[in-house]
Amino acid sequence: MKFKKVASINLIPISPFNFDATFHKPDHFTSGDNEWKPGIRWQTWFWKGKCLGLKFVNKGSLLKPKITVGVFYKKKLDEGFLDSLAEEVRYRYNLDLDLTNFYKQFSKDGVLGPIIKKWKGMRPGHPSSLYEYLLIGIVLQNATVKRSVQMFQALLENYGKQLEYDRKKLWCFWKPGGLKNTTEEDLRLLKVGYRAKSIKKIDEQFAQKLINEFDLRKTDRETQMKTLLDLYGVGPATVWYLIFDVFHHWDFFNHISPWEQKIYSKVFFDQDPEKPVSVKKLLKHFEKYEPHQQLAVHYIWEDLWWKRKNKHIPWLEKLIRI
DNA sequence: CATCAGGGCCCTG
DNA sequence: CAGGGCCCTGAT
């Protein structure tokens, strides 16, 4: 499926804005559907029934931000469609998030201050829809990174669509409910193991339109959490990711998984990861970042992963097992 | 070769 | 509310 450029959208984020730290998260291992190099992010995007190729390009600066989004498709797209797409990009990448209060609160903080200075203008952001993120969350469960990536790729390559645009070949997600004719056994052949049941059941929920991401965004956090927990195969760890990455709550921190506990122990208490600080103590520690706990930890977390890009960090390598 | 834990979650007792 | 089982992989 070869696409040509059919539109270009200009977006102006709130200043300050850091393009690369927003559009590339070195800790996100989703692969096959995106590519990044400084100043450019290619990302496939399933939107309103269509697989698109997007190309985000940095055309501004920290204080005078500007992004252009090249939209690649087989034919012209109407204005209403492009407007809704632009709005969704703004939402998913938090282009309108005002970080002023967060910066004011912590610019003098010993740990966070220097990191804020370094990463000023970074937003949290994730390209996936709720449906897509649920599947990512499922393949993350009880697996090492390498295996998660392998499962994710297998799903994309079997049920997604390969797009060719701007000299890139990337896989685009299928539509929610698109596994209607796929059985649990089919999924198991992709070596997702017991997760096949969860994937199938979640897809069915979407096929029957029992869950609507956009309605859910309008409800409160408690409702969102309960709705998500009710999905088969979704537990507290997955909900925790979703409530941050998909529903954008920054003032909430209730869960730490074992591998993250080890990393936090080292980062915040310089504690041997093999003898980690208790989850209770870590959660208590994060209270000092209220009401921006998630933002604070996100900044510190991303800083660590960016460091890893440039420098070998033995203790971290040991914990993530790529 | 066997054993085991891993970026959880469901189900049972 | 604790703990066994689940799929597959790769480390030991």
Over residues A251-261, the pLDDT tens digits come to 999 888 888 88
CA A66 to C1' C7, whole Å: 46
Q: Where is A35: in which H helix or E strand?
A: strand A34-37
CA A169 to C1' B6, whole Å: 32
CB A234 under 7 Å to nucleic chain B? yes
Strand B: which residues 25-54 of A lie within 7 A (CB)? 27, 29
Query: Which nucleotide has the shortest C1'-to-CA distance from A137?
Result: B7
Least confident of A90-104, A115-129, A270-284: A270-284
Tell whether the model's pLDDT for residue A179 goes beyond 70: yes
CA A126 to C1' B10, whole Å: 28
CATH classification (class only), A4-98: alpha beta
Strand C: which residues 146-205 of A lie within 7 A (CB)? 146-147, 150, 188, 191, 193-195, 197
The crossing angle, in degrees rounded to 10, of helices A258-269 and A279-286 is: 60
Q: Where is A203: in which H helix or E strand?
A: helix A195-207
Closest protein residue to C5 (Cα–C1'): A194
What's residue A318's pLDDT?
A: 79
Tell whether the model's pLDDT for residue A29 goes beyond 80: no
How far is residue A287's CA from residue A267's CA, in Å, rounded to a whole number?
Answer: 16
Whole-number percent of chain A with pLDDT over 90:
85
Strand B: which residues 254-293 of A lie within 7 A (CB)? 257-260
Residue A125: Cβ within 10 Å count: 20
What's residue A73's pLDDT?
A: 98
The per-residue pLDDT of chain A, averaged, comes to 94
Average pLDDT of span A189-210: 95
How far is residue A116's CA from residue A101's CA, in Å, rounded to a whole number?
Answer: 12
Tell whether the model's pLDDT for residue A322 goes beyond 80: no
List, in sequence order, every residue forming a beta bridge with A249; answer none if it has no partner. none
Average pLDDT of span A55-84: 98
CA A82 to C1' C2, whole Å: 52
Average pLDDT of span A290-312: 93
CA A76 to C1' B11, whole Å: 51
What's residue A46's pLDDT?
A: 98
Q: Is the dihedral of CA A20, A23, A28, A32 positive or negative?
A: negative
What residue segments make up the domains of chain A, in order of their start? 4-98
Residue A262: band (very low, low, confident or very high) from pLDDT cuts 50, 70, 90: confident
Tell whether the model's pLDDT for residue A321 goes beyond 80: no
What's residue A1's pLDDT?
A: 86
Average pLDDT of span A183-192: 94
CA A81 to C1' B10, whole Å: 41
Tell whether the model's pLDDT for residue A118 goes beyond 80: yes
Least confident of A98-102, A135-139, A142-146, A270-274: A270-274
CA A148 to C1' C4, whole Å: 24
Average pLDDT of span A97-101: 97
How far, CA to CA in Å, does A294 sit from each of A168, A252, A300? 34, 6, 10
Give tens-digit pLDDT for A31-50: 799 999 999 999 999 999 99
Residue A20: band (very low, low, confident or very high) from pLDDT cuts 50, 70, 90: very high
Measured to protein CB atoms, the chain C nucleotides within 7 Å are 6-11
CA A16 to C1' B6, whole Å: 40
